[in-house]
Chain A
Amino acid sequence: DAGVTQSPTHLIKTRGQQVTLRCSPKSGHDTVCWYQQALGQGPQFIFQYYEEEERQRGNFPDRFSGHQFPNYSSELNVNALLLGDSALYLCASSRRTSGIQIHEQFFGPGTRLTVL
């Protein structure tokens, strides 16, 4: 049973560039959340996708956007990168059953983004 996978593992970008991170949820899961974890801090919620729509959003600017595909995989896009965007980006998946959200989330290994 494949867990949550993320790609790439590491990424280096320069200020002003754009980046796309990818996530495949755990088998049987249909909901994806993205989190940003700055060095030495706890993860912060960016947004959640379900049925290809953004359902919930944290306190992040519009430079952060996402997408969910019919196969439930997801992308996180960040435009106009800032030095402060350097972080570990974590994807977590979960599932809904009969319309009820199951709150247990499974995390991927993350993508380490460095902005120079």
Chain B
Amino acid sequence: AQSVTQPDIHITVSEGASLELRCNYSYGATPYLFWYVQSPGQGLQLLLKYFSGDTLVQGIKGFEAEFKRSQSSFNLRKPSVHWSDAAEYFCAVGARNNAGNMLTFGGGTRLMVKP
């Protein structure tokens, strides 16, 4: 069974500082990998995804993530955080098969941004 761990429940950074959110997964092979963002009371918005190819993927809002097979990680980064980035961030994995597209999510990391 696949699983996702986001070790940091809360992270606080100053506006303009860099950000890295950690994600580790457990899966028998290389899964599909996603990062979603959720503002309070809202649904999930896809930031970026990794299916294959270049292990450094670019997303929306200036975010990027790097897939590291040897570490089973898919960490999210942003060089300079804006106050509007304060939200909950979820890492998710999907199985590489055609049976369905169930996503398994981590518990999330709540990002707070200090002025």
Q: Which residue of B lies closest to A50 (CB)?
A: B100
**Do most interface residues of chain A lie in helix, strand or loop, or is the interface mixed?**
strand
Q: How far is the CB of A49 from chain B (nearest CB, A)?
A: 10
Query: Which one of B12-20, B54-62, B72-80, B105-113 is at the interface?
Result: B105-113
Q: A42-B90, A42-B108 are in contact. Are A55 and B43 (CB under 8 A)?
A: no
**Residues on the A chain within 8 Å of B44, using CB:** 43, 90, 92, 107
Q: How far is the CB of A24 from chain B (nearest CB, A)?
A: 13
Interface size class of B (residues with CB under 8 A): 20 to 34
Bound together, the chains give a CA A1 to CA B80 distance in angstroms of: 31
**Residues on the A chain within 8 Å of B43, using CB:** 4, 90, 107-110
Q: Are A107 and B45 in contact (CB under 8 A)?
A: yes
A-B contact pairs, 15 of them (CB 8 A): A33-B101, A41-B108, A42-B4, A43-B44, A45-B103, A56-B100, A58-B102, A90-B43, A101-B101, A104-B34, A104-B49, A107-B44, A107-B45, A109-B43, A112-B41
